[in-house]
């Protein structure tokens, strides 16, 4: 296989499906060599049934590794090349956010705030005590304060005697994160960077206006659901719960006395979570357990099973918003992604729950960001479904991280060159 091609790879370890998306990095000319004007070309997307998960957590490392290896192999076969490193998403109930504040005196008289001042106050805010089993995954500023002026987004260059910051820290379980990294490494893939999946989706599927007015991303996975809420352009709340699409399926299996595989099919084909979609009088056949004969069940009975679970998930999002000091009636509304977003009526129920507009977040929304060049990554139309939104968002997050690192390296090289020339001039 050709090892000279440059690939960017994303790994989405869902508890239902494991997905590996590979894109070839295409420089757009000399500028592209410095990390600018670079585009991506779709190379392959491999999927495999996930094994070794329970309620969004790894319970069998070897089984998870096998799933990652299978999905990677299928992506490599499409790409025609070996995939060596990847951006890996982290999800599950262990993802929880916390707010931290810190301040620094600068001078007796107002002076210009520098980048180093911002770095120092951010590091101070980062130093909050956490339990030994938790780590900070991301630190994002919400707002800065200069003397008595609050609500500042970029303080560099402004004048002040003091500088304070309020940040949102996305934290996760050390053990859970390490289990994911170990499984991917064992599958033969080096972990390039890790990112909380709800953050990656929120940063890419929401428009600038939605983040400014206030929006929540509801990422409905198989074993868990993650939330990421934005206000005034910044991440304001992040959390996860151990309830996802698998729980809906299990409810159907128990309520209708049918095997889980048949319950999943019934949920997808006939399920709804909004009362106006009940279709009174419509019935469907339910296979029986063991050797029991199938029977006809009214669709209203399925609605009565699914609605309480959907209300529970969205109700927990409302509670988390209120704990974060946010009004659940968000101006930008709600965006739902993940395989659970396919459930009929989920947007209608979300609009009712948040008293705000709701929509489904698709990969095409991720690739429609203003800062991306035209034809940045043209995915096959078959993949423009909510279950693929996360892996595409992970890829875009990895692209931005890699571009930032390239630009920093280029800046450092120029500074080194200018410093060397200055020293030579002195001599």
Instruction: Please determine, for residue 413, whether its predicted confidence score (pLDDT) is greater than 70.
Output: no
Q: What is the pLDDT of residue 217?
A: 98
What is the pTM for the complete model shown?
A: 0.90
375: confidence class by pLDDT, cuts 50, 70, 90:
confident
Banded pLDDT at 128 (limits 50, 70, 90): very high
pLDDT in tens, 229-261: 999 999 999 999 999 999 999 999 999 999 999
Instruction: Say whether pLDDT at 56 is over 50.
Output: yes
Q: Indicate if the pLDDT at residue 30 is higher than 60.
A: no
**Contacts with 196 (C-beta within 8 Å, 6 or more apart), sequence order:** 89, 90, 91, 95, 137, 138, 170, 172, 226, 228, 238
Q: At what angle do helices 389-426 and 197-205 cross, to 10 degrees?
A: 80
Nearest to 269 by CA among 302, 237, 238: 302
Tokens describing residue 167: 């940040």
144 Cβ contact list (under 8 Å, min separation 6): 118, 121, 150, 152, 153, 154, 155, 163, 164, 165, 166
Question: Does residue 425 register a pLDDT over 80?
Answer: no
Six-digit token string for 366? 């991720």
Distance CA 324, CA 347 (A): 23
- Find the helix packing angle between 299-323 and 245-256, rounded to 10°: 150
- What pLDDT sits at residue 31? 45
What's the pLDDT band for 4 if we cut at 50, 70, 90? confident
Confidence of residue 34 (pLDDT cuts 50, 70, 90): very low
pLDDT score, position 25:
92
Q: What is the DSSP string of 34-45?
A: GTSS-EEEEEEE
Where does 7-93+175-201+364-415 sit in CATH, by number? 3.30.420.40
For 93-248, strand residue ranges (E) read 96-105, 111-112, 134-146, 149-152, 159-160, 162-173, 190-196, 215-220, 225-231, 234-241
Is the pLDDT score of 35 beyond 50?
no
Average pLDDT of the residues in 151-164: 93
As a whole number of angstroms, the distance between CA 121 and CA 137 comes to 18
What's the token pair of residue 119? 């770095």
Given a contact cutoff of 8 angstroms between Cβ atoms, the answer to whether 272 and 347 are in contact is: no
Mean pLDDT of the chain: 90
Q: Which of 121, 106, 117, 103 is nearest to 161 (CA)?
A: 106
Is 33 a residue whose pLDDT tops 50? no
The answer to whether residues 340 and 243 touch, using CB atoms and an 8 Å cutoff, is no
Could you tell me the two tokens for 335? Answer: 């965006």
What pLDDT is stored for residue 422 in this prediction? 54
Residues 228/199, Cβ–Cβ less than 8 Å:
yes
Secondary structure, 3-state, 209-249: HHHHHCEEEEEECCCCEEEEEEECCEEEEEEEECCCHHHHH
Q: Residue 169 phi/psi, 5° resolution?
A: -105, 120
Both tokens of 253, joined, read 């299996």
And the tokens for 260? Answer: 């889980």
- pLDDT score at 347: 95
For the chain, which residues make up each domain, given as ranges? 7-93+175-201+364-415
Which region holds residue 355: left if phi is over 0, alpha if psi is between -120 and 50, else beta? left
pLDDT in the model for residue 41: 94
Q: How many helices (H) and strands (E) does the chain have?
A: 11, 20
What are the distances in angstroms from CA 95 to CA 90, 123, 130, 320, 334?
A: 8, 21, 14, 13, 19
If you average pLDDT over residues 6-29, what whole number do you get? 91
Tell me what percent of the residues of the chain surpass a pLDDT of 90: 76
More confident residue, 28 or 327: 327
Range among 73-82, 255-264, 411-420 with highest mean pLDDT value: 73-82
DSSP code of 293?
Answer: P
pLDDT (0 to 100) of residue 38: 79
Rounded Cα distance between 225 and 238, Å, is 11
CA distances from 114 to 120, 132, 162, 358 (A): 10, 33, 12, 40
CA distance 334 to 347: 8
When pLDDT is averaged across residues 110-123 and rounded to a whole number, the result is 94
- 8 Å CB contact between 52 and 58: yes
Give the pLDDT band (50/70/90) at residue 198.
very high
Strands of the sheet with 149-152, listed across from one edge:
96-105, 162-173, 134-146, 149-152
Where residue 371 falls among pLDDT bands split at 50, 70, 90? confident
With a cut of 80, say whether residue 405 has pLDDT above it. no
What is the three-class DSSP state of 294?
coil
pLDDT at 420: 55
| Residue of 371 and 388 predicted with greater confidence | 388
Residue 151, SS3? strand
The reported pLDDT for the residue numbered 194 is 96
Least-confidence region, from 3-12, 76-85, 184-193, 408-417: 408-417
pLDDT for res 417: 55
| CB-CB contact of 15 with 244 (8 Å) | yes
């Amino acid at each position: 296989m050709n090892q000279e091609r440059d690939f960017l790879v994303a790994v989405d370890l869902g508890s239902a499906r494991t997905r590996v998306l590979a894109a070839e990095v295409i420089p757009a000319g000399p500028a592209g060599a410095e990390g600018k004007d670079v585009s991506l070309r779709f190379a392959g997307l491999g999927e495999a049934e996930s094994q070794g998960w329970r309620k969004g957590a790894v319970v069998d490392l070897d089984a998870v590794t096998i799933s990652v290896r299978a999905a990677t192999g299928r992506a490599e076969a499409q790409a025609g090349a070996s995939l060596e490193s990847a951006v890996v998403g982290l999800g599950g109930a262990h993802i929880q956010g916390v707010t931290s504040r810190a301040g620094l005196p600068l001078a007796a008289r107002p002076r210009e705030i520098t980048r180093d001042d911002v770095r120092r106050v951010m590091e101070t805010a980062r130093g909050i005590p956490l339990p030994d089993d938790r780590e900070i995954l991301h630190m994002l500023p919400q707002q800065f304060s200069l003397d008595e002026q609050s609500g500042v987004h970029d303080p560099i260059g402004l004048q002040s005697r003091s500088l304070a910051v309020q940040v949102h820290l996305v934290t996760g379980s050390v053990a859970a994160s390490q289990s994911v990294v170990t499984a991917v490494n064992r599958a033969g893939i080096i972990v390039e960077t890790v990112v909380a999946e709800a953050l990656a989706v929120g940063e890419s599927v929401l428009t600038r206006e939605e983040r400014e007015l206030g929006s929540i991303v509801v990422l409905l996975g198989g074993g868990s659901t993650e939330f990421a809420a934005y206000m005034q352009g910044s991440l304001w709340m992040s959390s996860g719960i151990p309830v996802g699409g698998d729980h809906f399926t299990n409810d159907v299996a128990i309520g209708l006395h049918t095997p889980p595989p048949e319950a999943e099919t019934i949920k997808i084909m006939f399920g709804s979570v909004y009362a106006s979609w009940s279709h009174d009088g419509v019935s469907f056949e339910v296979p029986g357990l063991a050797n029991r004969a199938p029977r006809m069940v009214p669709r209203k009975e399925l609605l009565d099973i699914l609605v309480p679970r959907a209300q529970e998930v969205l109700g927990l999002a409302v509670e988390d918003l209120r704990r974060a000091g946010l009004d659940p009636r968000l101006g930008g509304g709600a965006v739902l992604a993940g395989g659970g977003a396919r459930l009929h009526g989920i947007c209608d129920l979300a609009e009712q729950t948040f008293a705000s507009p709701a929509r489904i977040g698709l990969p095409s929304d991720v690739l429609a960001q203003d800062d991306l060049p035209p034809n940045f990554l043209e995915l096959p139309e078959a993949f423009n479904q909510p279950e693929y939104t996360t892996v595409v968002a992970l890829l875009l997050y990895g692209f931005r991280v890699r571009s930032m690192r390239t630009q920093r390296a280029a800046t450092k090289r120029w500074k080194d060159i200018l410093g060397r020339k200055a020293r030579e001039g002195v001599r």
